[in-house]
Chain A
Amino acid sequence: MAGFIELMLERFKVYREPGYYKRFDYWWAMVIDLDRCTGCGACVTACQAENNTPVVGEEECGKGRNLSWIRIERYIEGEYPNVKVKFIPVLCPQCDRAPCEVACPVYATYHNQDGLNVQVYNRCVGTFTCATYCPYDVRRFNWFTYNKKNFLKGNGGSSTSFEPPLDQQLNPDVSVREMGVMEKCTFCIQRIRAAKDRAKDENRPIRDGEIQPACVQTCPTKALTFGDLNNPKSRIAQLAGLSTAGDLHYLRESGSKISDISSNPRTYRLLEDLNAAPTIFYLKRVMKNGSSTAGHE
Chain B
Amino acid sequence: MAHQQQGTSNISYREVNDDVIKSMTETGRGFYLVLAVCIVGLALTFGLPWAYQIYVGQGVTGLQSPEYWGLYLTNFVFWIGISHSGTLLSAILFITQTPWRRSIYRSAEAMTFFSVVTAATMVFIHMGRPWNFYWPFPYPNQREMWTNFQSPLMFDVFAIGTYSTSSFLFLYFGSIPDLAAVRDRVTGWRKRFYGALALGWRGTDREWHLLQKAYTFCAVFIIPLAVSVHSIVSWDFASSKIPGLNKTIFAPYFVIGAIYSGTAGIITLMVILRRALKFEKYITKVHFDKLGMLLVVMSLLWTYVNVTEVFTGWYANTSYENEALKYRMFTTPSAYLFWLMIACNAFFPLLYIFRKIRLSIVASLLISIGINLGMWIERFLIIETSLPRKFLPFMWRDYHPSWVEWSITAGSFIFFTSLFVLFVKFWPSFSIYEIKEDIGIPMERKGR
A residues near B (Cβ < 8 Å) are: 60, 63-65, 71, 73-75, 90, 99, 102-107, 123-129, 131-133, 135-137, 139-145, 150-152, 155-157, 179-182, 271, 274, 276, 296
B25 to chain A, nearest CB (A): 45
Q: Are A141 and B65 in contact (CB under 8 A)?
A: yes
Answer whether A64 and B64 are a contact pair too, CB < 8 Å, given A105-B136, A124-B129, A156-B57: yes
Q: Are A64 and B397 in contact (CB under 8 A)?
A: yes
Q: Are A274 and B128 in contact (CB under 8 A)?
A: no
A-B contact pairs, 28 of them (CB 8 A): A64-B64, A90-B394, A99-B241, A103-B240, A106-B136, A106-B145, A107-B147, A126-B58, A127-B127, A128-B63, A129-B236, A132-B66, A132-B387, A133-B241, A135-B391, A136-B391, A137-B390, A137-B395, A141-B65, A141-B128, A142-B128, A145-B57, A157-B57, A179-B57, A180-B58, A180-B127, A271-B391, A276-B241
CA distance A107 to B150 in the complex (A): 10
A235 to chain B, nearest CB (A): 28
Main SS of the interface on chain B? loop
Q: Are B128 and A179 in contact (CB under 8 A)?
A: yes
A107 proximity list for chain B (CB < 8 A): 145-148
Q: Which of B152-160, B182-190, B347-355, B424-432 lies at the interface?
A: B152-160
A141 to chain B, nearest CB (A): 7
State which of A123, A124, A126, A140 has its C-beta within 8 Å of the C-beta of B65: A140
A182 proximity list for chain B (CB < 8 A): 128
* Nearest A residue (CB) for B318: A273
Q: Are A143 and B392 in contact (CB under 8 A)?
A: no
Q: Are B145 and A126 in contact (CB under 8 A)?
A: no
B127 to chain A, nearest CB (A): 5
A181 proximity list for chain B (CB < 8 A): 128-129
B230 interfacial by beta-carbon distance below 8 Å = no
Q: Are A105 and B57 in contact (CB under 8 A)?
A: no
Q: Are B135 and A123 in contact (CB under 8 A)?
A: yes
Q: Are B242 and A129 in contact (CB under 8 A)?
A: no
B151 proximity list for chain A (CB < 8 A): 102-105, 129
B250 to chain A, nearest CB (A): 15
* Nearest B residue (CB) for A271: B391
B125 to chain A, nearest CB (A): 11
B239 proximity list for chain A (CB < 8 A): 102-103
Q: List the 7 closest pairs (A to B, CB-CB), nearest first.
A: A126-B128, A143-B59, A180-B128, A64-B64, A128-B68, A180-B129, A73-B394
B265 to chain A, nearest CB (A): 27
Interface centre among A63, A75, A124, A151 (most CB of B within 10 A): A63
B64 proximity list for chain A (CB < 8 A): 63-65
Q: Are A135 and B241 in contact (CB under 8 A)?
A: yes
B60 interfacial by beta-carbon distance below 8 Å = yes
* Residues 383-409 of B at the A interface (beta carbon under 8 Å): 387, 390-395, 397
B392 proximity list for chain A (CB < 8 A): 73, 90, 135-137, 271, 296
* Residues 413-436 of B at the A interface (beta carbon under 8 Å): none
B327 interfacial by beta-carbon distance below 8 Å = no
CA distance A151 to B56 in the complex (A): 8
Answer whether A142 and B241 are a contact pair too, CB < 8 Å, given A107-B148, A124-B128: no
Answer whether A64 and B56 are a contact pair too, CB < 8 Å, given A107-B145, A132-B387: no
CA distance A157 to B56 in the complex (A): 10
B102 interfacial by beta-carbon distance below 8 Å = no
* Residues 38-79 of B at the A interface (beta carbon under 8 Å): 55-60, 62-69
* Nearest A residue (CB) for B133: A125
B126 interfacial by beta-carbon distance below 8 Å = yes
CA distance A179 to B397 in the complex (A): 23
B391 proximity list for chain A (CB < 8 A): 135-137, 271, 274
A199 to chain B, nearest CB (A): 28
B62 proximity list for chain A (CB < 8 A): 63
* Nearest B residue (CB) for A66: B65
B355 to chain A, nearest CB (A): 46
CA distance A155 to B419 in the complex (A): 33
* Residues 361-396 of B at the A interface (beta carbon under 8 Å): 387, 390-395
Given contacts A75-B394, A271-B392, 9 further A-B contacts (CB under 8 A): A63-B62, A64-B66, A99-B240, A106-B147, A127-B127, A151-B56, A179-B129, A180-B57, A181-B128
* Residues 93-151 of B at the A interface (beta carbon under 8 Å): 126-129, 132-133, 135-136, 145-148, 150-151
